[in-house]
Each structure stands twice: as C-alpha cells, then as structure tokens.
Chains A and B, each alone.
Chain A
Amino acid sequence: MKIAVCIKQVPATTEVKFDPETNTLVREGVDSQINPFDLYALEEAVRTKERLQADGEESSVTVVCMGPPQAQDALREAVALGADETILLSDRAFGGADTWATSYTLGLGLKKIEPDIVFCGMQAIDGDTGQVGPGIATHIDYAQATYVAKIESLDKKKITVKRLVENGYEVCSVKLPIVITVVKEINEPRTPSLRGKMNAKKAQITTWGAADLEAPVEKLGLSGSPTQVAKVFSPPHREGGEKSEGEPDELAEKLFGLLKELEIV
C-alpha cells in the first residue's frame, strides 16, 4: 500500500513577517519547523506502514512538501522520522499560492505518486485554514475524512476512521483512495532515531517544478489563487468596557437602560 503525507514548513517563531507587496508570509531567512499537526500525520503514516509491513504487506511512505528550496530541511527531518521517499514541489511559479492553488499543486504531485492514502495535518499553525487537505481530495477526486482521531481498521479497499466532530465522535467507513486529515489525539509522534538522522543526511530529495507537473501556469501560485489577501494586521488591543458597581436591583435597571439606549431591547 502506498501512503503519502503532505507536510508544510512553517516559521518556528511567533514573530512572522509579511511581504508588503503580496501580503503573504516571508519564509526566507526565518527559522522553520515542520507544521506540528503534520508530525501527527507523518507518525500515523509511518505507523500504518509498520503495521502493514508486520503483516507481510509491502508499504512505503512518501512525503510531499510544497515550498522554497529551504523546505528540503523539513523533508530531511521527515526521513529521520521514518519517511521512505521525499518530494519537494518547488518553483517560483508556485509562490504566493492560496489554499486553492496550494491544494491544486499538491494534488498534481500526488497524482504522479498515486497513493492509496494521503495523510495531512488538520491545519497549519501559520494559516490555520484547514482547507488544504480537503482541497487536495477535491482536486484529485479522492474521498476525504477530516479531523480523524483514530484509524479503526484498514483493508485493501476501505478504511474505517473515528472523526472528532463538535458533539463527540463519528465513525465512518470510506473507500480508498482517501485523503485523511488528523487531529493531535491520533498518536504521540516519535522522536528521530539515529539511523533515521543518518539516512536523512544522505537522502536524495526529488524536486518537481511546474514543468514536471505539466501544470498550466495560470493555475499556479499567486496567479492561480482566487483569494488575494487585501490586508494583514494584528487586531487592535481591546479597550476595557464600562464597569458599574452597586446593588443588584440598581445594576439591573442601569443595564436595562443601556440595552434600551442601544436599541437591543
């Protein structure tokens, strides 16, 4: 069974900078890390592979990352954590992509790999959209299960997962191929092994550009993005509200007066 994982390299600090021209994140020259949610996706992929291999089935994990050349570091770290193959989708044409163009591009990469399962983190800690996983599924016409907290069972044709939903859990069986986005409850990620780190150092990282994906340039990057970021700003500090003290009856009357004034009641 072929398993793929999509990871994103995100800033390791909270002091992010934005490009004033495009209003997108500046990633160059910033300490970075694998998006923490993606570590759970990678761990689940590696565990799934290990379970399959223990049952005598062939399985491998391919990690895909879209980003600038420095995202190689994230892919090397993924090798240290158990990935077999790594593919970097990197091209100037991919720059400035929103979630539509990102999931489209990742989808093109995944189509070449033809995985049975694609694991993603539930969202990235910088963008927080949670759209790329479902976006990929839509672009490549895979089934999807989001916010997965547990894989209940897996066979060659279908997978049963437990999803974290607002009021509890939902268990569903879905046909493969599928895109799964995972929540933190799903596992406890391992730390890198020594062999893994040594392999990571030697790992050959395949890079695919726009030409390798045979992608129409107008669907990529900033030009392929239906959403454009108009403005990026830190929300202003909230001013403290009005505070009144006194007897309950008095306060109730005052509050009622205020509500009336605001035409709420």
Chain B
Amino acid sequence: MDYFFTEEQQMMREVAREIAEKKIRPIAAEYDESGEFPWPVVEAIAEADLFRVFIPEEYGGMDLGTPIMNMCIVTEELSKACGGISLGFAATGLGTMPILVAASDEQKKKWLPRIADGTLAAFGLTEANAGSDASAVATRAVLDGDEWVINGTKQWITNGGEAEIYTVFCVTDPTRGARGVSTIVVEKGTPGFTFGKKENKMGIRASATRELIFQDCRVPKENVLGKPGSGFFNAMKTFDMSRPGVASQALGIAQGALDIAVNYSRERRQFGQPISAFQGMQFMLADMAMKVEAARALVYATARLIDSGVEKKPTMYSAMSKCFASDVAMEVTTNAVQVLGGYGYMKEYPVEKYMRDAKITQIYEGTNQIQRIEIAKGLIASAAKS
C-alpha cells in the first residue's frame, strides 16, 4: 500500500533495502548460527548515513523533522532480511533516545555527531530484579566531588560490549523511589565499567546481549542527562518514542516471513499443483497479509503522530503499535513455518529463524502484558478526563 512518504523517506527505504538485500540476506543464517556481531553490516549501515536518520541536522544527522518515522522505515527494511542484525541499528536508536529527550545542547554536541557517524549506543535500564518494574533499579550512582561513582549490574543489554555510548539508569537518591533515578552516560573504556558474558539466545542471535558491570566506575558529573531524579521520566518518554521502533522490527520480521511463505507456496507442488492453489493455504496467507498490513498502518500512524508533536503523551499508541505488531509477527512467522511444513522446521530454510527472532519483540521494551496495561491506563485516563 502507498503510505505517501516524502521523497527523502523513500530514499531512506531504498538505501536500507539495498543493504538488506545485498549485505544482510546473504549472511543472515551464518551470523544467526555463529552469534558473531555483524560489524561489516553495521559499517555499511553507517557508511550509508542511516544512523543519521533519527538525529537532528545540527548534530550531524538528517532527521528532516521526522526522526521516528525514519527510524521505523529503516528498521523495518533491515528487519525483513534479519531481525537480529537490524538491532545493531535499532538498539542504537533506543540508546540515543534519552540523549534526544533529555540532554542539553552541549551534551548533544558531545555524543550525537558520533552516533550519527555510526558509533553504536545502548540503553541500560533492565536489571536482574528490575524488569517490568523498571522503578526497582538498584544500580547506584553517588556524587563524589565532580564525579558520579557507579556500582551495580545491568542485565540483557542489547549492543552491550559492542556499543561505545551507554545511557545508564542509576539510583542517585534512594529516598525518593522512582523520582530518585537519573540517566547517566557512560562510555566504553571508562575504568570500572566492564561487560559480562555474551548471552546465548533463542533468536536475534546476531545481536549482542551482555551485562554491564559497574565497579566504582567514575564518570564526570556533567554526564547526567537532564535534572538528577528525572531518569524514570526519561525512560518512559524514551519508550513512548522507541516502541514504534520495536514495532517496525516486528513488522519487518513478519513481512520477511510472509514473503518467503508466499514465494514457497507458489513453488511447492503437491497433488499435482502448487500449494498456493489450495484454499486452505490461501486463507492462511490472506490472514497473514491482512494482519501485517494492519500492523504497518498502525505503526506508521503512531510514528507520524509522535513526529508531529501534537500528542504530548503518545504512550497508549506507542504501546498499541508495539503490542499489535509483535503479536502479529509471532503469529505470522509461526504460520510461515506452517506454510513451509517440514522444510519450514529445518534450519536450511530461513523461516524458523524468523519465528525465533519474532518472539523477543513480544518481550523486550516492555512485555506485551505491560503494553496492554499502558493501553488500558491511557483509555481509563482519557475517559476520566472527558
């Protein structure tokens, strides 16, 4: 369907699509198997200026006023070929969001141009005992003169170990609960900042997931984003903007699996005809296509709403797009495996990977149960207002 993109947005899609087809698709299975970090692809993404699309022009970017839509377009295209490799890009977007949301001009000048050029970023919120309840973070930052001294461990951090710039959520005032959390930027190589082992995951295996370990790690006082105590607010505002990104990753995975399923159904012959001639197969493919298109419409509408700035709190819609698109991705990829039958279950064929990759989109950046709570909260609050 034509969603009436600007000429520049169409160019972004073409640029991303060429990388997906020429640089990602041929090596996706290999990186999924090895779990190696796809640096050559990340470099190609950087050289193609795609890390610029969510960063304002004054900081080396090319967001052209629509950072979220641009991020969604690129993430969707890259994810069609591999939902794991695309994360090097998408998780950098997530890690950058707190800087975009809360940083001063000086701080933006310090970090954003590097990210625009292709330096990876990562978002450090989750801990062993702070998942859905993000306010329960225990990583502690104590001001000592002109420096924050950080202690604690972040868990399951995407791009962990590969990224250079980390936005880390730390408790700076334990007496204030969620209002005592601050966002602090920590750069790789800072003494006292190390990484745990690389996690061995079900899907998105070409993406790096590691612990961030802080042991008396000292960073300059001016690395705190916004006011101390605004961290939880920054995190929530980040999610409002970043969840369409996860949604578009899910959307790309779903579309990629659907494309494979449709092509296969035209080639695979049983009972003397292509299986695409069977109504049972047609109904399945039609349902898959309908849901993917509905997800796409919701994701794009949400991204445009956020970029327009008319909605101060787009939380409910961000949650809807993430929840709906990821549920669709899980369903569509599962059915794509079904379309390919026994072949679909084999690793020689690409669809089982799409199914494994899809699962995480229902879990991270807020489980889909948390998304439904956000949606309900939004519904109830707006009903109470009217």
Contact = CB atoms under 8 A, between A and B. Distances in A.
Given A191-B22, A191-B23, A197 B15 contact: yes
Interface string A164-194: 0000000000000000000000000011111
B44 to A, nearest CB: 7
Contact of B47 (A193, A197, A201): A193
A189 to B, nearest CB: 9
A197 B62 contact: no
A40 to B, nearest CB: 14
B38 to A, nearest CB: 15
Nearest to A200: B11
A195 interface: yes
B47 A190 contact: yes
A241 to B, nearest CB: 32
A190 B18 CA distance: 10
B15 A198 contact: no
> In the complex, which of the residues A193, A198, A201 has the most CB atoms of chain B within 10 Å of its own CB atom?
A193
Interface residues of A, number: 10
Contact of B19 (A191, A195, A201): A191
Interface in B1-37: 7-8, 11-12, 14-15, 18-19, 22-23
B50 interface: yes
Nearest to B19: A191
A181 B16 CA distance: 30
A194 B16 CA distance: 9
A53 to B, nearest CB: 15
A194 B8 CA distance: 8
Contacts of A195: 49, 62
Contacts of A193: 15, 47-49
A193 B50 CA distance: 8
Contacts of B19: 191
Contacts of A190: 44, 47-48
A191 B44 contact: yes
B170 to A, nearest CB: 35
Contacts of A192: 14-15, 18, 48
A196 B19 CA distance: 14
B53 interface: yes
Contacts, number: 36
A197 B10 CA distance: 11
B52 A194 contact: yes
Given A191-B18, A192-B18, A197 B44 contact: no
A191 B77 CA distance: 14
B322 to A, nearest CB: 26
B44 A194 contact: no
A201 B289 CA distance: 34
Contacts of A197: 11, 14-15
Contacts of B22: 191
> In the complex, which of the residues B15, B22, B50 has the most CB atoms of chain A within 10 Å of its own CB atom?
B15
B17 to A, nearest CB: 9
A194 B53 CA distance: 9
A193 B53 CA distance: 12
A79 to B, nearest CB: 13
A198 B44 contact: no
A48 B12 CA distance: 27
A54 to B, nearest CB: 14
A26 B50 CA distance: 38
A194 B14 CA distance: 9
Contacts of B8: 198
A191 B48 contact: yes
Nearest to B40: A188
Nearest to A195: B49
Nearest to A190: B47
Interface string A134-160: 000000000000000000000000000
Contacts of B52: 194
A194 B15 contact: yes
B320 to A, nearest CB: 30
11 contacts: A190-B48, A191-B18, A191-B48, A192-B18, A193-B47, A193-B48, A194-B11, A194-B48, A194-B52, A195-B49, A197-B15
Can you list the 5 inter-chain pairs with the closest CB atoms, starting with the nearest? A194-B49, A191-B18, A193-B48, A197-B11, A193-B49
Given A191-B23, A191-B48, 10 more contacts: A190-B47, A191-B15, A191-B18, A192-B14, A192-B15, A193-B49, A194-B53, A196-B49, A197-B14, A198-B11
